[in-house]
Amino acid sequence: MRTVTKRAAVSAAALLLSAGMLTACSNGSSGDKSDDTGGTSGANSTAKIGLLLPDTVTPRYATADYPYFKDEVAAKCPKCEVLYQNAAGSAATQQQQAQAMITQGVKVLVLDPFDGEAAAAIVTQAKAKNIPVISYDRLIDSGDLAAYISFDNEKVGKLQAQALVDRMKELGLPDTAGILEINGSPTDNNASQFKTGAQSVLGSTSYKVLGEYDTPGWDPAKAQQWASGQISKVGAKNVQGVYAANDDTGGAAIAALKAAGITKLPPVTGQDASLAGIQRILAGEQYMTVYKAFKPEASKAADMAVDLANGTKPDLPATVKTAKGASVPAELLDPVAVTTKNIADTVVKDGLYKVSDICTAAYKDACDKAGIK
């Protein structure tokens, strides 16, 4: 379902001017025009655009999302200013940061919520000031959003779980083999969607989920602590697969398994295609990750933000439902499962990492074996 593009109506005021003073002019708020720099000209060509990201434990926010977003805003609107803050895993901090940006006069807020429920209050405050909010990557539980951009999150969970199941079958593990399930943060709407997708796959098999955990704040230390406890409880040899919702929790599970004396690691999933995750895959410690192309996600969010600053609603190809059932116009990008077989064709080809970033001395032989040069 597509939403209909609407442009802000601009009423012309009658001006009494002498014929000698009448000059031709254009009203930029009625549409977009390209200026000499190739960017957007208009009433808000110097707009402030706020970008609020949720935590510092996920490397992608600082290394990919923020720089890609900032670069695209600069390309489309050279005189626009991006105000950036990271909530460092605190809903209260994010609320304060949003309020500060509203006070500073942002024209648009792009908000990746630490807590999708709590962030609804930010949307309400912004709406009172006629500031549109784009929900970025994680869905905010508000029907007042201008737009949502993310990935098909249930598909992410399905990709992870299916890769795990296929690998366990490939290894010839028994039909009743045990799995530890480490999900994402209970305050992250995306995490619930990953979980739904994963459980739809795992639930269709005879594999046994030995334990399930929702990781508060996606904190790897808490995931490792839980995994260590479960390994002690069920026995290390009985953990024959690990569903981990992202690379950080996957790395935590691997650390717990190693600490328990496991040398032949079971297949472990991940997400975000972090550099550490990619290197663990090459080393044979982590089986797979999910690559979500951060550049198009961040760039499309920036394009939406500049358009909204200039009074143009983005034309989006889909709608999503919030937890409370409200419809929000959305664009959902496709995630990709990554193993050793397609590292070169995904994260390297797309320029997320250079070969030199991945193939340090410790991973040179693994890179050669995988054909990454």
- Beta-strand pair 147-151/327-333: parallel
For domain 44-151+293-333, give its CATH number from 3.30.930.10, 3.40.50.2300, 3.50.50.60, 3.10.180.10.
3.40.50.2300
| Whether the predicted pLDDT of 12 surpasses 90 | no
Torsion 323-325-328-333 (CA) sign? positive
Tokens of 307: 């358009």
- Residues 224, 253 contacting (CB under 8 angstroms): yes
Tokens of 43: 């009433």
pLDDT over 70 percentage in the chain: 88
Phi, then psi, of 261 in degrees rounded to 5: 90, 10
Asked if domains 44-151+293-333 and 153-292+336-370 share a fold, the reply is: yes
Would you give the DSSP letter of residue 61? I
| 41 — pLDDT class (breaks 50, 70, 90) | very low
- Residues 372, 355 contacting (CB under 8 angstroms): yes
Residue spans of the domains in the chain: they are 44-151+293-333, 153-292+336-370
The whole-number pLDDT of residue 351 equals: 87
| CATH fold group of domain 153-292+336-370 | Rossmann fold (3.40.50)
Q: Residues 267, 168, 270, 340: what is their CA dihedral angle, to the nearest 10 degrees? A: 80
CA angle 176, 179, 181 (to 5 degrees): 145
Tokens of 174: 């028994």
CA–CA dist 290, 31 (Å, integer): 38
Q: What is the mean pLDDT of residues 277-301?
A: 96
Tokens of 364: 């040179």
E strand intervals along 188-340: 208-214, 239-244, 289-291, 318-321, 327-333, 336-338
Q: If you write DSSP's letter for every residue of 335-352 in order, what string do you get?
A: PEEE-GGGTIIIIITTTS
- Please name the helix (run of DSSP H) or strand (run of DSSP E) that holds residue 371, with its range, or none: none
| Whether the predicted pLDDT of 24 surpasses 90 | no
| 59 — pLDDT class (breaks 50, 70, 90) | confident
The whole-number pLDDT of residue 16 equals: 32
Q: What is the mean pLDDT of residues 309-332?
A: 93
Instruction: Provide the whole-model pTM.
Output: 0.77
The whole-number pLDDT of residue 44 equals: 57
Supply the mean pLDDT for the chain: 89
The whole-number pLDDT of residue 60 equals: 86
Q: What is the mean pLDDT of residues 181-196?
A: 94
Tokens of 45: 């060509």
Residue pLDDT, tens place only, 214-223: 999 999 999 9
* Closest by CA position to 142, among listed 165, 126, 154, 163: 126
CB atoms within 10 A of CB 289: 31
CA–CA dist 15, 7 (Å, integer): 24
Secondary structure of residue 329 in the 3-state scheme: strand
- Residues 348, 358 contacting (CB under 8 angstroms): yes
Q: What is the mean pLDDT of residues 182-186?
A: 96
| Whether the predicted pLDDT of 34 surpasses 50 | no
Residue pLDDT, tens place only, 150-176: 999 999 999 999 999 999 999 999 999
Tokens of 266: 């079971």
Helix residue ranges per DSSP H, 78-152? 91-103, 120-128
Tokens of 24: 């031709």
Beta bridge partner(s), residue 315: none
